[in-house]
Each structure stands twice: as C-alpha cells, then as structure tokens.
Amino acid sequence: MTDQTKDRVFIFDTTLRDGEQSPGATMTHEEKLEIAEMLEDMGVDIIEAGFPIASEGDFAAVNEIAKRSRESVICGLARAQPADIDRCWEAIKAAPRPRIHTFIGTSPLHRAIPDLTMDEMAERIHETVTHARNICDNVQWSPMDATRTEWDYLCRVVEIAIKAGATTINIPDTVGYTAPVESADLIRRLIATVPGADEVIFSTHCHNDLGMATANALAAVEGGARQIECTINGLGERAGNTALEEVVMAMRTRGDIIPFDTGIDTRKIMQISRRVSTVSGFPVQYNKAIVGKNAFAHESGIHQDGMLKNAETFEIMRPEDVGLAATSLVMGKHSGRAALRAKLKDLGVELGDNQLKDTFVRFKELADRKKEVYDEDILALVTATMADEQANHLDIVSLRVACGTGGPAEATLEMEVGGETMTTTEEGDGPVDATFKAVRKLYPNEARLQLYQVHAVTEGTDAQATVSVRLEEDGKIATGQSADTDTVVASARAYVNALNRLYVRRSKTGGDVKEISYKDVS
C-alpha cells in the first residue's frame, strides 16, 4: 500500500447487490441505474452493481451501469467458478474502471456446502482468482465467513489469493459475529503475518446481527483496512450491513481519533437515503443515526433551550452537512411553480418539466387541504408522482369508502384495467381491507400481501400518510408506495403501484427476480 492511500479509506457500496438481497428490496432496472448514478455523484469509490450470473435482469443492470459509469470502479460479484467470472467480466468490461469480485465460503460450516477439503478449496481459490486476474487487472477476493474461519487456514487462503493476483482482500463478517477488538486484531494480524499483505488493500464487510457493524468496520480500519463495504441506510439481509452514512460521518466528525478521509460528498447523503428507502420499500427508522427523522430533532425543553443558545450544545453535526434543510416550513397554497422548483432544488431533487407539472398539481391540491406544507410533504409528493408515472395497466379513477361501528366497511372503487373502466363495491373488515378486496375483484390476482406499512410524513391530524405495500407472486416481489392525507387513498394507490410492477415483470423475459440460489459475501 502506497503512502498516498495510507490515510484514505475507500468506500465500496453494495446497496445494489447485498442491499438488494434483503427480502422484498428488489429494485427495477431503471431504479438501479438511478441509484448507481446517485452513488457516483456523491463520490463512492467502488459500486458493486450486482451479481451478473444471477439473472438476465441482473446482468443487464450491471452492464448498463458499467457503460454509464465515469469515475467510480464498477464491480460485479462472481462465485468461485469460471462461468460466473466470465459472465461477470462480460457485464462490467465496458466500464472505464471494472473490478471482478469473487468469493468462496472458507469457514468449516461453509466448506461443508460444496463438500470440499481444505486442499481442494485452496486449489479452487488459486484457479479462480488466477482466471479472474487473467481477464481483469482489478480483482477482489473474499473468504466468506472469514471471522469464523480457522486462523491458520485463513492466512493460507489469503496468501494464495494474493499470489494469484488479487489486488483487494475483503474480510467478511458474514453473520455479524465479531466484535470491535477482534475485528481490528484480525486485520492487523493478517497484514503482519501473510506474505504480500502489504502490497494489497484490505477491506472489511460487516453485518449488524449484534448491532456492531459500524463499530466493527471502523475498528477494522484502525487495524489497517483501507476499504469499507457498506450500504445506504444499512440495507441488507437480516439486520443489515454497515451503513455508509454512519462510517463516513463518524470519520468526518471524529477525525481527531479516526484520522481518515473519504471522497464522499456528505451533503448528498440525505437525498440518496430517501431515494433508497423509497425504491426498496424499507422505511428508515425515526431514531436511525444520521438519516433518521429524529436525528436532528429536539423536543426536550432543556435540549431546545440549549439549541437556541448554541446548536453545538446538542448537535455534533450540522444538518446541512448531510444535506438536510435547516428550515422546513416555507411553502403554502400561494406558492408558485418557480418557488416549488427552487424548493425541490434545495432538497436535492431535479425534476423534468412534466414531472414538475404533475407534482405542482398535487402540491396545490395538498396545500388546499393541509394548513402547513413541510419539506417532508413535498418529498412525499415527488415520490408519489414518480410511482404513479409507472402505473399504466391499472389506474384508480375514484374511491369512496364508508365505515364505522355499525357494520362492515364498504369500498366503491372505479378503476381502469388495461384501458377499460370498471366499477365494484366490496365489503371488508375495515376500509383498507374493503378497498383491497375491491381491487382484487376488478383485477383478479394471486399476489400475497407481505408487508403493509403506514407512516405519517409530518405531525398533525392533517398529515400525509406514506403507505408501503409489498406483494409476492410466483417468487416475484414488488413494492409500491404512495402518499396522501387520506390513508385509505394512499393505501389503494400503493397497492395498485405494486400490482403494476408485478404486471410489468410478468410481461418481461428475465426480469429483476433472481433465477439462481446463492450465498452472499456478507
């Protein structure tokens, strides 16, 4: 490792690969391209764009991201098999800076899966890393479940990978098993023990099963790792991955004790956090570090008094450092289109003329119904507008519901199905149940409701509700979102948006659903 990179920590974002593996977080082709562009714009060094051999959809997304990339390294994942590596190379070779990331599980539990002896696995590692290096000069190798791999064997296989040409060695804590002191010591000992370790970059990939992913990643950096694998919002399987925003802001805020730099433009963190939450259908918890709704909110009288006198009393970061607007209540029913465009620009949102027109119409409607319109309201409108733009097969024309203590709820729904307008009235156990039954009556389907979540965008009885609906049908998963001051209307639109996505995926060959089973480098 050169002196130039000694104090530089590279950010390896795997939101589009490991993050998307989180059940229900499958993204569309266009959403993947959009997130990749946002990651590159914010300065992410390496973008792991997907697992090309998993499906035609994954291959197409990785390939298009590679073609569109400018500065970021574009990485594809491949198992320790020549066919995987070749397919990965086909997907990423158009990138100005491609990387092949190949892996195999090295712990006793993972060695038992392919039923390989230690020697057989060592030989496969040598062959596959060599194969990858022969076609790409930037190769990353990972011993999956490294933190539960025998020390002597871990040293052995890391040395083999380095000699075979790997330029980055990633040490994954696949099941979130390690702790900070152990994480730092493992990296430190590998660098000191393995021949050639000083010539490569060591990387850390931590999971949050015990709530220590961020701490473990930063400890690994202290031990000598100079690459952190992470995801936006900590998205990922089970309890998730190391959160990009947490490690980046920790290094920025505590440079006195974590003296490392990244190339991340932190002012873009909030924008991409919100977008990833929207496309994945995974809301950010209110008390989530850095990007949670309450991260910069103060209710306690003592805290508010201190904030008014000196913001640093209770804030170790400035909201604007992560792209959060300092004020939120500035828009109302008398605001014009130019003001809305300017506000959206302040919030980091750029819309085309047609999108702005549709959003402005919704903004005016909301302003007439809602006394105060906040930044969060406007962002929710943008999300709802973009979601509804994807709707083409199903579209809600009108919805009326009747409910109360006197009997079952009743929903009268008028909906366009493939261009034909249809109407029905259905009863149910509450207004949402009745509405969903009405949708299924007009558009029969076997989609199973996996998730139904309602979140208030702001405070007050007139607050917009953001509804997320996740559906599963024949192994395909789709998420729909919408927002409205009427929770039932938002629910209906979110449900229809998810059904539209399923319809599109059924209509395409080799869509976004993975076609093979694999274990991740987690």
Q: Which residues are annotated as a binding site for Mn(2+)?
A: 18, 205, 207, 241
Up-side HSE of residue 348: CA atoms within 13 Å toward CB? 20
Q: DSSP label at 451? A: E
Phi, psi of 308 (to 5 degrees): -65, -35
Phi-psi region of 192 (alpha: psi -120 to 50; beta: other; left: phi over 0): alpha
Q: Which two tokens stand for residue 278?
A: 């929207």
Run of H or E residues at 394:
strand 394-402
Tell me how far apart the alpha carbons of residues 504 and 21 are, in angstroms, rounded to a whole number.
20
Contact between 36 and 65 (Cβ < 8 Å): yes
* 470, β-bridge pairs: 451, 479
Strands 448-456 and 476-484: unpaired
Closest CA to 125 of 410, 517, 117: 117
Sheet arrangement for strand 476-484 = 448-456, 465-473, 476-484
What is the token pair recorded at 376?
A: 């969060």
- Could you give the CA distance from residue 193 to residue 210 in angstroms, rounded to a whole number? 28
Name the region of 496 (left: φ>0; alpha: ψ -120 to 50; beta: rest).
alpha
Q: How far apart are CA 443 and CA 432, in angstroms?
A: 16
Number of helical (H) and strand (E) elements in the chain, helices listed first: 16, 14
- In terms of phi and psi (left: phi > 0; alpha: psi -120 to 50; beta: otherwise), the region of 46 is beta
Sign of CA dihedral 174, 175, 176, 181: negative
Binding residues: 18, 205, 207, 241
For the chain, the first-to-last Cα distance in angstroms comes to: 25
* Token pair of 296 as six digits: 């910069």
Cα–Cα distance, 246 to 252 (Å, whole number): 10
Contact 396, 493 (CB under 8 A): yes
For 253, left (φ over 0), alpha (ψ -120 to 50), or beta? Answer: alpha
